[in-house]
Amino acid sequence: MEVEGMLAPLSLSAKFEGSFAYLTVRDRLPTILTKVIDTIHRNKDNFFKDYGEEGVQAEKRAISFLSKMRNEMQTDKPVLILTDNAEDTETWNKYMQRQQDMMEDGEPVSWFKSPWLYMECYMYRRIREALYLSPPMDTFDVFKEGKTESFFESQRAIISVCTYLQELITNMENMSEVQLQEHFFKLLQVSLWGNKCDLSISAGQDNSQKSNPIDSLPDLQRFILVNDSIKVWSSLIAGKGCGSSGMKRGRVDIVLDNAGFELITDLVLADFLVSAGLAKQIRFHGKSFPWFVSDVTKQDFEWTIMQTMASNHKWMSASGAQWKHFMKDGTWSYHDHAFWTSPHEFCDMPADAADLYAMLQDSDLILFKGDLNYRKLTGDRMWEHTVRFNRALRGFQAAPLCSIRTLKANVQVGLKSGHAEQLGREDADWMTNGKYAVIQFSSPSKEH
Ligand SMILES: O=P(O)(O)OC[C@@]1(O)O[C@H](CO)[C@@H](O)[C@@H]1O
Ligand SMILES: [Mn+2]
């Protein structure tokens, strides 16, 4: 799928001392691991209550696996193959071989020498392995507490977006296309800024939404570096038209990122798309095991809808009830695939997850939420900032797609000449502090 004659730039890596990748592997990842160990330890009594002595042994075993990994990471030991014989174990081990083949002078793949994207994903897969090898703890979500807290701490913001949605739906019939478009732009931005609330960048510290998200939009506008909303709108309108001619069916795929407030903003956006007739079907894609601290799993997805329904706020519970209904009648569906919890760049998808690629190809629009998805779309590489987004996708063109992301890693393409330099002068951390954002669109019909 790679465009001929153009090599991809180097991967971001902790081998570049002082870089954000380096600081993440040196500081943030061990902090996250320590919190994971602490969470498991704090739940010891519960494991005993549920499983007796077997539960206590499992707790010890999991903690010992995780402490060992923390030590390997901090002393830059070679990365180990996975031994848990899960559905994706072989793929992961093959990927390690691929990385090994790319190492200079046959040096072993290791935490501080290999691509950051790979090593960070690998840490979450190893957490999974530690639990998998410690039954009956294999289904325990070490990040559940944090995700639940972040949901409850964003209650007021959740109520305000649900109220906004319900008022919008009540008045929708009399709205012109221009008015609908305006509301779409607003909800897309609410979903964009929802991405500030991830728990990986804050190493698990509270990062919930406190202010009214709709009121904050005008002040935040100037932090959106690229805003392709109008192109996203056009592709929705085009998808709608195709439905009647029997081509595509008004399908929108949302590749989810974080649970908590961000997930609510995605559900509100999805509800709006269906209620306004801009989409007939929404497919949500989540993770098949706990990932990057706050990412959505099936359990989180279902829990969030149930909690929203159970609220004693009228508009919040009405939203939850509507979402449950969408799930029940198939208008909405939830999917997971091992590829989303793999270390692959998305340009690998046609070769490494052909079934998922084929599924995405019948979408009218794919919305990729969050920073990690942007890193995987662009391969987490040191692209020049002026390189076009289409080029950085390196052939990943399943369908029209849009990345909605606050910047939390040193990769950003598609900027005008001079823009990155200006940002660098104003704010040295512009690429990693989550203050800036992009809504970046790419369509397969455009040349690379
Ligand atoms: O994908 P998300 O939730 O927007 O961000 C996840 C993330 O915060 O985790 C890493 C830090 O550990 C960052 O590089 C990355 O941006
Ligand atoms: Mn995330």
CA angle, 391 then 396 then 398, to 5°: 130
User: In the prediction, which pLDDT does 4 show?
Assistant: 43
Q: Which atom of ligand 1 is nearest to the CA of 373?
A: 1
Q: Which residues in 27-66 are b (16+ Cβ under 10 Å) and which e?
A: ebbbebbebbbebbeebeeebeeebeeebeebbebbbebb
**Separation of CA 171 and ligand 2 centre (Å):** 34
**Separation of CA 111 and ligand 1 centre (Å):** 17
Which of 199, 300, 368, 371 to mutate to test ligand 1, by most ligand atoms within 8 A of the CB atom?
Answer: 371
What is the residue with the minimal CA distance to atom 3 of ligand 1?
198
User: In the prediction, which pLDDT does 210 show?
Assistant: 72
User: In the prediction, which pLDDT does 259 show?
Assistant: 97
CA distance to 301, 361, 402, per residue, from 443 (Å) = 29, 12, 9
Q: Which atom of ligand 1 is nearest to the CA of 195?
A: 4
**Domain map of the chain by residue range?**
20-132, 150-442
**Separation of CA 430 and ligand 2 centre (Å):** 19
What residue has token string 């109220």? Answer: 163
Q: Which amino acid is at 14?
A: A
State pLDDT tens for residues 356-409. 999 999 999 999 999 999 999 999 999 999 999 999 999 999 999 999 999 999
Low-confidence ranges of the chain (pLDDT < 70): 1-6, 199-203, 241-248, 445-448
In a 13 Å sphere around the CA of 445, the CA atoms on its Cβ side amount to: 4
- What token pair was written down for 171? 């008045």
CATH topology for 20-132 is: Transcription Elongation Factor S-II; Chain A (1.20.930)
Which among 66, 81, 43 is positioned nearest to 130, based on CA atoms? 66
User: Do β-strands 437-442 and 401-406 pair in parallel, antiparallel, or remain unpaired?
Assistant: antiparallel
User: In the prediction, which pLDDT does 244 show?
Assistant: 47
Quick check: ipTM above 0.85? yes
CATH architecture of 150-442: 3-Layer(aba) Sandwich (3.40)
Beta partners for 442? 401
Q: Is the CB of 201 under 6 A from ligand 1?
A: yes
Q: Which atom of ligand 1 is nearest to the CA of 434?
A: 16
Q: Is the CB of 150 under 6 A from ligand 1?
A: no
User: In the prediction, which pLDDT does 195 show?
Assistant: 96
**Separation of CA 95 and ligand 1 centre (Å):** 21
Q: Which atom of ligand 1 is nearest to the CA of 24?
A: 12
**Separation of CA 381 and ligand 2 centre (Å):** 19
Q: Which ligand is nearest to the CA of 294?
A: 2
Q: Which ligand is nearest to the CA of 197?
A: 1
Which of 150, 254, 372 to mutate to test ligand 1, by most ligand atoms within 8 A of the CB atom?
Answer: 372
Which among 240, 225, 255 is positioned nearest to 181, based on CA atoms? 240
CA angle, 14 then 338 then 343, to 5°: 15
Q: Is the CB of 372 under 6 A from ligand 1?
A: yes
Q: Is the CB of 292 under 6 A from ligand 1?
A: yes
Q: Is the CB of 371 under 6 A from ligand 1?
A: yes
User: In the prediction, which pLDDT does 201 show?
Assistant: 64
Q: Is the CB of 380 under 6 A from ligand 1?
A: no
Q: Is the CB of 410 under 6 A from ligand 1?
A: no
